[in-house]
Structure 1
Amino acid sequence: MSTPMAALTEAAARVAMFTTAVQLGLLDAIDREPSTVDDLARRCGANERGVRLLLAALVADGFVEEVPGGRFQPTAPGLASLHPLLPIWDQLPEAVRTGKPALDMDSPDTATEMYPHVVASLANMWRDAAVRTAELLPAATRILDVGAGAAPWSIAIAKQNKHSRVVALDLPPVLSTTKRAVAAAADVADQFAYLAGDVFSMPLPVDTYDLVIVGQLCHLFDEPTCVRLIDRLVGALRPGGTLALLETLAGGRGAAVHELSLYLRTRGGALYSPETYQKWLRRAGLDAADVVEVNGTPAIGLFTGRRPSA
């Protein structure tokens, strides 16, 4: 078990080494092209031994991986783009004192500004959970991916079922990232179409989809907003269709820090209990199934509700 001193030291070290890799241009360099230690030291104007030790620490913590030829590359593209989010944590004392978030990432304006830069890294974090989720969900041909981001959930489904057709819905600036992610995935681009807009206000087709996916979206909002969202999406399901919510499990691995992050960057976001998600699904007229935990840290639960057949 980690002691408080060890936990603090490790946390401080992770932030420092990630910040150093960004400030030296090291992460950007290996994002463009996998490189050796001596190449990076020369290109970044840094000490070779220091670069070697920094890379070893980044590999140990999962930021970077070594590939053949003694070269290094990031484990996910665009990791350096996450660095501007770190200073938000400096505003935690004020947020705890006043109850006011540092950001309103649950508002369309702020989401439009922030999410295009982070959704690719989030998708990589959820990659294994997405593969497991695709195995668990019922077969579906017509799929709506709500708040698609970099589309990890629907890409995994499309790879598993080549007959599926996905409509990825998100705010217009985010959809550009969605399209890049789909293009980078193998052989799924022709299975995707795109719908730009705000899910809370744009018209949705009625009785259309076999499956509607809502991945890591509900936790950004308060309970009345979540209920309103689910009610809107149920109408888009065909009779017999399934609504699937993927959310961090309250009380699970990594949940405490995740909820503190939500407090810092949303006005009403929270982690809700499995019973709460199931209550919302039943309230909307769906037959709710038991929660299934899929892989991930934080731990992610799959909540499904089936619209009764006509």
Structure 2
Amino acid sequence: MATSALPQPPTPERVFNALNAYEQTEAMKAAIELEIFTAIAEGNTSAATIAKRCQAAERGVEILCNYLTIHGFLSKEGTQYGLAPDSALFLNKGSRAYIGGAIEFLLAPRIREGHARLTEAVRGGGSALGEGTLEPDNPDWVKFARAMMPLMHMPAQIMAGELLKGGEVKKVLDVAASHGIFGISVAKQNSAAQIYASDWKNVLEVARENAQAMGVVDRYHLLAGSTFDVDFGGDYDLALVTNFLHHFDLPTCTAFMRKVHVSLRPGGRAAILDFVPNPDRVTPPTAAAFSLMMLATTPSGNAYTFEEYERLLKEAGFARVELTPPQIGMGRLIVAYR
């Protein structure tokens, strides 16, 4: 006769681990700075050889590597460490997909301060930092452009491929272009495309460097200034709005997308890539949890559902709005048609 499993009694373990979760952040930061993952990829698999390669104490390396193994970033067989698949791809500096430099923005002092003051943000309903990360010419956005481009490179290539299935585009607006990789990827996959990149002047310097390095600078044009104020011009076939609207409340997003709508030619498209949670706002976890970052770092930003995007885009004048099937990186692609 089968017996049902006894219910597990409550335990403080999950609370304890949550309160100490900052340790995982610091462990990842230390491992990236010390090049632990790169060292292991090079064949240094014992604490002693990793320590020698990283110029660190063997005791410290062993404790750190054991901790990273506990959290699934490393594997361990006897005394030998190995890389988990995602660590091998994204945290080894020898990999073309390396994204370890993202700590320069994601762990920037201003971002961390916003989260350290989360109680104030919850009480006030917005960042305790005032304008937070949205201050004009904020140097953190230069850090973002330099640090986050590798993280966005693969999604940008996939997104460009999806959008070009709809036909050739000749004039492309890249809103809040940052590192420029989304517009650059369209230009790389379509030799007819002229890219017009909008962002703060100091940020566009990074985008132009990337356009130069990737061989499209002759088709890369800069629209420097506040994206809300700068004159975009018109007759665009395609407008790229990537990882931008989540910084603002819905009325601001609607007003901005009216401006984008006006800039497009009849039949033109706006392509929005962003975190898109389900209507329950708790799934999928990464997209849904992004709302907390917006609470900590912006006055009124949020992660919006597709239903919210569809409503605001139609209010902005778009005739049709589609959520494309594939997930692109950590985001979803929404295409709105004028």
Using the alignment, how far apart are the partners of 1:278 and 1:163 within structure 2? 30
CA RMSD across the alignment: 3.5
Give the alignment partner of residue 250 of structure 2, picking from 205, 223, 227: 223
1:1-310 maps to which residues of 2 (within 5 A)? Answer: 4=14, 8=18, 11-21=21-31, 25-26=33-34, 41=51, 45-48=55-58, 50-51=60-61, 54=65, 57=73, 60=84, 62=87, 64-65=91-92, 67=94, 75-76=98-99, 78-82=101-105, 83-84=107-108, 85-103=111-129, 104-105=131-132, 107-109=134-136, 112-137=138-163, 138=166, 139-185=168-214, 187-206=215-234, 208-251=235-278, 252-253=283-284, 254-296=286-328, 298=330, 300-307=331-338
Code of the aligned partner of 2:182: W
Q: Which sits farther off after the overlay, 274-283 or 50-59?
A: 50-59
- TM-score scaled by length of structure 2: 0.73
Aligned equivalent of 2:4: none
Q: CA deviation at 1:45?
A: 4.5
Q: 2:336 aligns to what SS in structure 1?
A: strand
Q: Is the 8 A contact 2:181 2:207 kept in 1?
A: no
The structure having more radius of gyration, on CA atoms, is 2
Q: Extract unaligned runs of 5+ from structure 1.
A: none
Q: Extract unaligned runs of 5+ from structure 2.
A: 1-12, 75-82
Code of the aligned partner of 1:272: Y
Code of the aligned partner of 1:263: L
Count the aligned residue pairs. 293
Q: 1:112 aligns to what SS in structure 2?
A: coil
Code of the aligned partner of 2:296: L
- TM-score scaled by length of structure 1: 0.79
Describe the shift of the 1:105–1:122 C-alpha distance in structure 2 as closer, same or farther (beyond 3 A): farther
Q: What do the CA deviations read for 1:40-77 (whole angstroms, capped 9, x no partner)?
A: 8568641246447649847546352164xxxx898136
Q: Which sits farther off after the overlay, 155-164 or 216-225?
A: 155-164
Using the alignment, how far apart are the partners of 2:97 and 2:233 within structure 1? 40
Q: 2:208 aligns to what SS in structure 1?
A: helix
